[in-house]
Amino acid sequence: MNHEDKKEMRDQLRSERHLLRHKRNWMRHTAMVPKGFLRYRVLETLNEKPMSGSELMEEIQKFTGGAWKPSPGSIYPLLSWLQDDGYIKELPTENGLKRYELTKSGKDLLAEQTKIREKFREDAGFMANPFFDRFFTKIPREKTTQIRASMKRLLVTSMSLAKTLKDQYSEKALDEALSVLDEASKKLEEINNKIKDGSKND
């Protein structure tokens, strides 16, 4: 590995660590977690198999890439509410763990919430919100519109592909999608590095 390759690898690792720290700091504040996220993740996870409160916390932490883990103070009151309303039921204790599974009402609630989330993703209205213009203050207005449209298209397409793969999994399609995303990320990193290098030389 030559000097340039080593430098590129160090820069990439530094960038990834910075993004991970930023994500963890953002997710650490539970007030910043999207409304309904925890309830939906609990329902979706229990739809796969029965779990205990501690197992749910671990699974959700894995789902967020280690960026956020719900506290016992948030997961157990939620489980109590879901149980009281008949969306989940408690199973006999096994290996010292009290696990829960979805009821018919719980599956219906999950299906309803899934439809709402899919509609939200399709609309992706937050990408069109003028609030995001503050990130593009030096970019011409027409370019800002194009950027938001591209971001919205990427988001909606990614979410649609994720749903399709969930319903009809294809390892080949997943590998193709990952290849496209990796290539796009690499190109954007190259553009970003060129801009930074250019500003250093000014």
pTM for the structure as a whole? 0.55
Percent of residues, the chain, with pLDDT higher than 90: 40
**What residue ranges in the chain does DSSP mark as E strands?**
51-52, 88-90, 99-102
99 lies in the same domain as 85: yes
Examine the pLDDT at 125 and tell me if it is beyond 70.
Answer: no
Mean pLDDT of 1-8: 60
Residue whose entry in the numeric block shows the structure tokens 């397409």: 157
Q: Regarding predicted confidence, which is higher, 7 or 154?
A: 154
Residue 76 lies in a domain: yes
Residue 51 lies in a domain: yes
b/e for 64-82, b at 16 or more Cβ within 10 A?
Answer: beebbbbeeeebeebbeeb
Residue 149 lies in a domain: no
**CATH number of the domain residue 60 falls in:** 1.10.10.10
6: domain range?
1-32
